[in-house]
Amino acid sequence: RIERKLGEGGMATVYLAEDIKHERKVALKILKPELAAVIGAERFLAEIKTTANLQHPHILPLFDSGEADGFLYYVMPYIDGETLRERLEREGQLGVEEAVRIAREVADALDYAHRNDIIHRDIKPANILLHDGRPVVADFGIALAVSAAGGGRMTETGLSLGTPHYMSPEQASADRDLTARSDVYSLGCVLYEMLAGQPPHTGPSAQSVLVRILTEDPRDVLELRRTVPPHVAATVMKSIEKLPADRFDTARQFMDALADRGFTHTVVPRAAATGAAAGIPKVDASARPASPLMTRAMAGLTLLLAALAAWGWLRPEPEDKVRRLVVILDSLRVDFGPRTAISPDGSHLVYTGSDGNLWLRPLSTLEARPIPETDGARAPFFSPDGKRVGFHRGLGESASVGTVSLEGAP
C-alpha cells in the first residue's frame, strides 16, 4: 500500500509504502515509463536479481522486484534518514574524520560487491543513504540493467542517468566494459566533494563536465582544504586518476590507504598545453639534452607537421583560433599528448579507446563508433574545419602522422 511520494530522480520515482504482509515500511521505486521501455521487463528483472543475494551492512538489500500494469518496480527497506546528497547540500563539507569514515565504509561495501562480480556503476551522493550517520549504498543493479540495455539508447527518449560529475573517464567515453576501478573513481569523487565542498570537475552543462572529466586534471584537494591529511589527499587523488591502471586495483586498497598515514601518491604536473583545445600534443621540458635517436624522431615529426601545414591542413585562421604546436625535448621520453580531442565546434569528441583505435562520439549522446583505419593511433587532433582527424602512430624513427575523413559522421 503506497502512502506518499518521497522523491523523484532521473530514473525512478520513490514512494513510501507499507508491506502489509510483513507489517513494515518499505521504499518502492517505480521506473519511469520511458526508461522501462528502453530496458524491457525481462532484462530489468534478470539484471536486478543478480544483486538480490548481496548481504552487507552497508548495502541496502533488495526485498522484491517485478512488473505490474506495465510498470517496473523494485522494493527496498525504508531508511529513516537522508541521502548524502541532502547532507552535502545542507552543510557543504563534512568533517575530515567523518568523510573518511563514510568513504571507508562505502569502500568496504563496494569491495564485497566486486568480489561477487557486481559493479555498481552509479556511485554518487544521492545513492548513499545515511542512517544514524552510517552509510548504506542503494540501487545496486539499476545502472547495470541500463548499461545492459545500451545506455546510449536513453538519449533517444531524452532520459539521462543523472549527474555526470561522478562518472569515470571510461564511463564518460561510453565504455561498457567497466571494472572495479570505475567504482573506485566514483567513490573518490564523492570523498573529494565531502572534503572540498565540490566534485573534482564542474561545469555549466552535463556535456562540459564530461569533457573536463576526459581532458582536464582536477585541482589537488589540498588546494581547496588545507586541513586534509596528506595521506588522505594522496588517496583521493590516486583514486581519480584518468587511467584506470593508475588507480587502486580494488576498493579494499582504497579503504586501506585512507587508514595508512604513510601512503603517498606522486604526480608530475602537466605543463600548460598551448594547443590543448585542438588536441595538439605537447612534450614536457627537461634540462638534459635529448638522445640523437629522439632528436631524429622529433625532427621527423616536426617535418611531417610542417608538410601538413604547407598542404593547408593547419592553415592560418583568425587570431583567436590559431593552433600552435609546442615541441620541447625531454630526456628519453615523449608524451604524445592527450588521448582525447574536442571538435572545433564543440559537437564531437574523439578519443583513443582501450582497443587502440580512435572512437568518435557526439557530445549529445553516450554512443560512440570506431573510426576505421586508426589502429595504433594516439594523440588525436581535429583539423580546423572539423572535417578530418589527425593522429600519431609509432615511436622513434617509425613515428608517423595519419589523417582520416569524418565526412558522414553522426
Q: Catalytic positions, please?
A: 122
Q: What are the helix (H) ranges across 92-205?
A: 96-115, 142-149, 169-172, 180-196
What count of Cα atoms within 13 Å lies in the side-chain half-sphere of residue 53? Answer: 7
User: What's the longest Cα–Cα distance across the chain?
Assistant: 80
How is residue 255 written as a grid cell? 579503504
- 10 DSSP assignment: S
Nearest to 381 by CA among 343, 346, 345: 343
Spatial contact of 284 and 366, defined as CB atoms under 8 Å apart: no
How is residue 401 written as a grid cell? 602522422
d(CA 350, CA 339): 8
Residues belonging to the chain: 410
Q: Where are the beta strands (DSSP E) in 45-190?
A: 64-68, 71-77, 82-83, 128-131, 134-137
Strand order across the 128-131 sheet: 82-83, 128-131, 134-137
Please give the C-alpha separations between residue 167 and each of 162, 182, 287, in angstroms, as whole numbers: 10, 8, 38
Enumerate the β-bridge partners of residue 325.
Answer: none
